[in-house]
Amino acid sequence: MADFDLGSSFIPALHKPAALLPITKHHDSLLYLIEKTPVTIVIGQTGSGKTTQIPQFLEHAGWCAEGKLIGITQPRRVAATTVAIRVAEEYGCELGKEVGYSIRFEDVTSAATRIKFLTDGLLIREALVDPLLSRYSVIMVDEAHERSISTDILLGLLKKIRRRRPDLRIIISSATLQAEEFLNFFSEPSEDQESADDKAGQVGAIISLKGRTYPVDVLYLESPVEDYVEKVVSTVFEIHNTEPDGDILVFLTGREEIDTAVQTIAERSTSLRSGAQSLLPLPLYAGLTTEQQMYVFDSPPENTRKVILSTNIAEASVTIDGIVYVIDCGFVKLRAFDPRTGIESLTVTPVSKASAAQRAGRAGRTKPGKCFRLFTEDAYRSLPDMNPPEIQRSNLAPFILQLKALGIDNVVRFEYLTPPPAELMIKATELLYSLGALDEYAKLTRPLGMRMAELAVEPMMAKTLLSASSFDCINEVLTIAAMTSLGGTVWVQQDGGKKQIESARRKFAAEEGDHLTLLNVYQAFVTKGKKESRFCHENHLNFKALTRAVSIRGQLKRYLERFGISIDENLKAPHEGRADRVRRCLTTGYFAHAAKMQPDGSYRNVEGGTVLHAHPSSLMFNRKADWVIFHEVMETSNKTFIRDITKIEKSWLLEYSSGFYQTKPR
């Protein structure tokens, strides 16, 4: 037969799914298992094709008939977006059509969507409006080994839902071997199980994708280093100057370290021998725009070695081809909650042995590789095997609120893969009671508690928003809620560095603190910055972040309007006393995050046990105050910082905290 002349209307798919992915040869057995058993557990090395291929297999096999969706949950927003982009390319559709994603405040799906990537937290939220998740024929809980708190809660919910929806197919995918634990969880009959139907059939099956991996040489330091960021930079150059071709993947803990390292590498690489291969450092962390995140997947220009500097996003959630060298700083930022103080923070913690192994494995995907661990072998031996799951070290308030809103009143008896400690449950219940979301019988209040659960912000901000009408500052608080939900700073560092940001910020500074400063920034942006392209540049502001704030604000406003709260943007509330009203309103939500300044300029929390410091990015850094409330806590190896700080009056704490600081309800 003659060759087809496909003509010009056909273009090859941008990315064809690689035929050699380990998952390909399991295609038939996978589909068979999914058809036959309600729960399928898929174990396979990162990069074997679980996330990108399984949804496409299912779609081709007809699991999207009658408009049903295949949902794939990710613990990380970055993974949800980048993977959706990749799968849309492979599938050959525009993003948001057949293949889309949905993360908080950003929904890129349409009526045509069949394969939907979303965060696990968002799927829990969807259950509020669709308790049986009836739009989905298959739900794949991806990266389950990470044991994010949302993943754990979602697994408990799915176990409940499955009893009412025998047709629903659940896939749990994990990069490490914890398959039995997941299978046992779904196989154990629940206490409130009405029928014994499961006993007859098999509940679940495990499939293990064997993929080829290559040996990775692991190298340790002889003696520990003080500054691992500097050591990262020198190791990058050492590899570059002495090792053969291959890209480098560096694990650091957060944005600030990564930005510093990227900048230093860029500066020092100008002194590379001319004609030598050049170095291209690229950051990968959650605060980047989706566009910036996608750069790491592009092949580097000729004669260039790519260096990707990432948080542990690249540990398992995303796969980057071409990596031959891994540099592991040995630390990771983890959520930590102190039940005594009620303060949750992100804390730089040594990695577990499991993480270190996973990181090293990233070097051996396509050929033998090397992993440079920036710690000693002795230090390695003292690492924990695994870190405890997030549910055991987090502020549970947002999750208890969600469970209650889902009608699960007895949150103690909810089926957890690993039950959280009682202390954390009590602390969360106390906070929700003081916020007015729960009554003295720990039942959800209506409408307040229910509305707090529905709002897409954490409980303290939800309460602030829902109090705003009574303080006549709804427009202001909507803006503040949007600006603090950005998950990154609105300031951009240009060539001038930090000093210039400071002087730009001074223009918008409000004496009362960061929240009102953010309000000033936003207002200047919507009146000037949206039209004048120079505005953002001149003021060192991030145009994209501010545009996102406008969109988030609109979404939050629609929530409030749905609750029947009227918002008149044109009606100017009296400016008189405005700052005062906003600060009082913030106290109604953030009383649990109060601190008092000490003579030495540091802060103490109310119980007095914890020393807190204003973050250098805060307006309150090096400024006098008495009592303040703060939005969040950030911990580094030697200091605990608070961020987004506003001055308040001590008397307000008693006035607005429903006894939080007197007798605590049990």
| Virtual torsion, Cα 634, 636, 641, 643, nearest 10 deg | -40
Q: Given the rule CB under 5 A, which of 1-9, 31-39, 46-54, 528-536 is the region that contacts Mg ion?
A: 46-54
| Nearer to Mg ion among residue 364 and residue 529 (C-beta) | 364
Stated as kind and residue range, the H or E segment containing 323 is strand 323-328
Give the Cα separation of 222 and 375 in Å (integer): 8
**Dihedral angle sign, alpha carbons of residues 537, 541, 542, 546:** negative
Partner whose footprint covers residue 448, from Mg ion, ligand CDP, none (CB < 5 to 8 Å by kind): none
Orientation of helix 397-405 relative to helix 149-164, angle to 10°: 20
Give the Cα separation of 330 and 353 in Å (integer): 10
| Tokens (6 digits) for 184 | 């046992």
> Closest residue to Mg ion, Cβ-based?
51
Does 51 bind ligand CDP (CB under 6 A)? Our answer is: yes
| Residues 6 or more apart whose Cβ sits within 8 Å of residue 163 | 190, 193, 194, 195
Of 101, 117, 136, 297, which lies in the binding site for ligand CDP, with binding defined by CB under 6 A? 297
Does 321 bind ligand CDP (CB under 6 A)? Our answer is: yes
Q: Given the rule CB under 6 A, which of 44-52, 384-392, 502-510, 515-523 is the region that contacts ligand CDP?
A: 44-52
Pairing of the two strands 331-338 and 594-597: unpaired
| Tokens (6 digits) for 264 | 């230093």
What is the footprint of Mg ion within residues 327-386 (CB under 5 A)?
none
| Tokens (6 digits) for 622 | 């090096």
| Nearer to ligand CDP among residue 43 and residue 431 (C-beta) | 43
Of 50, 77, 393, 583, which lies in the binding site for ligand CDP, with binding defined by CB under 6 A? 50
CB of 373 to ligand CDP, least distance (A): 22
| Tokens (6 digits) for 589 | 């939500």
Of 37, 52, 102, 392, which lies in the binding site for ligand CDP, with binding defined by CB under 6 A? 52
SS3 209: strand
Give the Cα separation of 149 and 193 in Å (integer): 24
**418-447 b/e with 16+ CB inside 10 Å = b?**
eebbeebbebbbbbbbbbbbbeeebebbee
Q: Given the rule CB under 5 A, which of 49-57, 440-448, 464-472, 646-654 is the region that contacts Mg ion?
A: 49-57
* Number of chain positions touching Mg ion (CB under 5 A): 2
Partner whose footprint covers residue 86, from Mg ion, ligand CDP, none (CB < 5 to 8 Å by kind): ligand CDP
Does 46 bind ligand CDP (CB under 6 A)? Our answer is: yes
Does 319 bind ligand CDP (CB under 6 A)? Our answer is: yes
| Nearer to ligand CDP among residue 148 and residue 539 (C-beta) | 148
Does 49 bind ligand CDP (CB under 6 A)? Our answer is: yes
Quick check: bond before 447 cis, omega within 30?
yes
* Number of chain positions touching ligand CDP (CB under 6 A): 16
Of 47, 330, 398, 459, which lies in the binding site for ligand CDP, with binding defined by CB under 6 A? 47
| Nearer to ligand CDP among residue 15 and residue 104 (C-beta) | 15
Give the Cα separation of 213 and 45 in Å (integer): 9
| Nearer to ligand CDP among residue 51 and residue 213 (C-beta) | 51
Of 51, 74, 235, 402, which lies in the binding site for Mg ion, with binding defined by CB under 5 A? 51
| Nearer to ligand CDP among residue 57 and residue 660 (C-beta) | 57
Partner whose footprint covers residue 149, from Mg ion, ligand CDP, none (CB < 5 to 8 Å by kind): none
Q: Is the distance from CB of 634 to CB of 641 less than 8 angstroms?
A: yes
| Nearer to ligand CDP among residue 21 and residue 374 (C-beta) | 21
CB of 420 to ligand CDP, least distance (A): 28
What is the footprint of ligand CDP within residues 57-86 (CB under 6 A)?
82-83, 86
| Virtual torsion, Cα 632, 633, 634, 636, nearest 10 deg | 170
Q: Given the rule CB under 6 A, which of 51-59, 190-198, 339-347, 506-514 is the region that contacts ligand CDP?
A: 51-59
Give the Cα separation of 353 and 36 in Å (integer): 36
Partner whose footprint covers residue 589, from Mg ion, ligand CDP, none (CB < 5 to 8 Å by kind): none
Q: Is the distance from CB of 581 to CB of 471 less than 8 angstroms?
A: yes
- Under DSSP, the state recorded for 203 is -
Give the Cα separation of 211 and 44 in Å (integer): 7
CB of 50 to ligand CDP, least distance (A): 3
| Nearer to ligand CDP among residue 47 and residue 589 (C-beta) | 47
Does 323 bind ligand CDP (CB under 6 A)? Our answer is: no
| Tokens (6 digits) for 331 | 């630390």
Does 475 bind Mg ion (CB under 5 A)? Our answer is: no
**148-160 b/e with 16+ CB inside 10 Å = b?**
bbbbbbbbbbbbb
Count of CB atoms within 10 A of residue 49's CB? 23
Q: Given the rule CB under 6 A, which of 45-53, 425-433, 448-456, 539-547 is the region that contacts ligand CDP?
A: 45-53
Q: Which residues bind ligand CDP (CB under 6 A)?
A: 21, 44, 46-53, 82-83, 86, 297, 319, 321
Q: Which residues bind Mg ion (CB under 5 A)?
A: 50-51
